[in-house]
Structure 1
Amino acid sequence: MTSAPDAFWFVQADAKGEITDYGNVYSVDELLLQEEGTGRPVYACEELPNMQGFYVSGTEVLIRPTFDIEPAIDLTVGESLTLDGLPDRVTLTMDGETIELTGGELTLEPDMPAVYSLTFEAFPFMPCTTKVTVHAA
């Protein structure tokens, strides 16, 4: 009894590096046919647990970085919160309203009690959502 041949795992990505296709083939010829059939480069990789957690940079398949933001933040009216170390360009969605941030920093200065949901997106970073609860002074 013989075992099946080892598979070659591959990904294909768009111009940003976002993985659009992931699979395996059993020969280099099949790998070349995949590239030829789609017109996009094929990048060899190890077997991945999921496509969403990885991206292509140059010719490498890398783990997507994460934002360094707590999932829940508590503030009191009158306090300010500065989130720095963000990528230079970030899409921020706050309670359904979307804005583009630049400069790598966001400062919040809430003036009334409320609960906000903030979602940060900046490929190749994984999207991040945090809940900001502002308490009365």
Structure 2
Amino acid sequence: MLDVFHNDEASLVGLNVIVSDGTGKPYMCPGKPLVAGYLDRLRENGDRIGFIPETVPMQEVFTSMWVPEDLELVAPRPVVEATVSATTIKADGTGKAVISGLPKPCTIRVDGKPVERKGGTLTLTADVPATYRIEVDQWPYMPWATEIVAT
């Protein structure tokens, strides 16, 4: 573990400190030198502290990375590894597309309307011809989307 809690700046050479909320979502990169006790106070409030090489652009940290555990290196956010059985279905109420491999649990948006899923699978049938947009934006996963066309 880095000795940032004793304000040993030498342990941070080449690293930036990233502060995240309790879910690992980064929200701040405090400047150096760090005030003694500052990170302890953040952690007492439920925040996580992560570290990232100074060469990693901050935009990348705040859009595609997270702090999986307190006092660890910041890591890329996981991707949704969903599979779609069909991107075109019949609009007759019997044709179906099965999307599996979704995060458990998660909120899926079907044409903007939220649908709660616990089991990692969504089955879509349609009575009306249309293009249905399916989106998953479930922290810490990277956003994922697909379209199913019912004809």
What TM-score does the superposition give when structure 2 sets the normalisation length? 0.69
What CA deviation, in whole Å up to 9, does each residue of 1:19-48 have, x standing for no partner? 1113553x5xx2756526756453222233
Moved over 6 A (4+): none
Number of the residue aligned with 1:21: 28
Structure 1: 5+ residue stretches without partners: 1-5
Distance 2:137 2:19 in 1: 22
Is 1:98 aligned with 2:119? no
**Residue 100 of structure 2 aligns with which residue?**
84
Calculate the aligned-residue CA RMSD, in Å: 2.7
Q: Does structure 1 retain, via aligned residues, the 8 Å contact 2:82–2:102?
A: no
Q: Residue 57 of structure 1 aligns with which residue?
A: 68
- Indicate if the aligned counterparts of 1:94 and 1:118 stay in contact, CA closer than 8 A: yes
User: Which residue number corresponds to residue 133 of structure 1?
Assistant: 149
Structure holding more strand per residue: 1
| Cα distance change on mapping 1:70 and 1:31 into 2, 3 Å | farther
How many residue pairs get aligned? The number is: 126
Report how far residue 9 of structure 1 moved: 0.7
Percentage of identical aligned residues: 23
1: CA distance, partners of 2:95 / 2:36: 58
Q: For structure 2, which runs of at least 5 residues remain unmatched after alignment?
A: 1-12
With a CA cutoff of 8 Å and minimum separation of 6, indicate the structure with the bigger relative contact order.
1
Question: Would you say 1:74 and 2:82 are equivalent positions?
Answer: no
**Shift in alpha-carbon separation, 1:22–1:131, aligned structure 2, 3 A:** farther
Cα gap change, 1:87 to 1:70, in 2 (>3 Å): closer
Contact 2:97–2:124, Cα closer than 8 Å, also in 1: yes
TM-score, L = length of structure 1? 0.75
- Distance apart, 1:121 and its partner CA: 2.2
Aligned to 1:57, what secondary structure does the other structure show? coil
- C-alpha distance in 1, partners of 2:77/2:64? 6
Choose between structure 1 and 2: higher helix proportion.
2
Q: Say which SS state the counterpart of residue 39 (structure 2) adopts.
A: helix
8 Å CA contact retained: 1:121, 1:128: yes
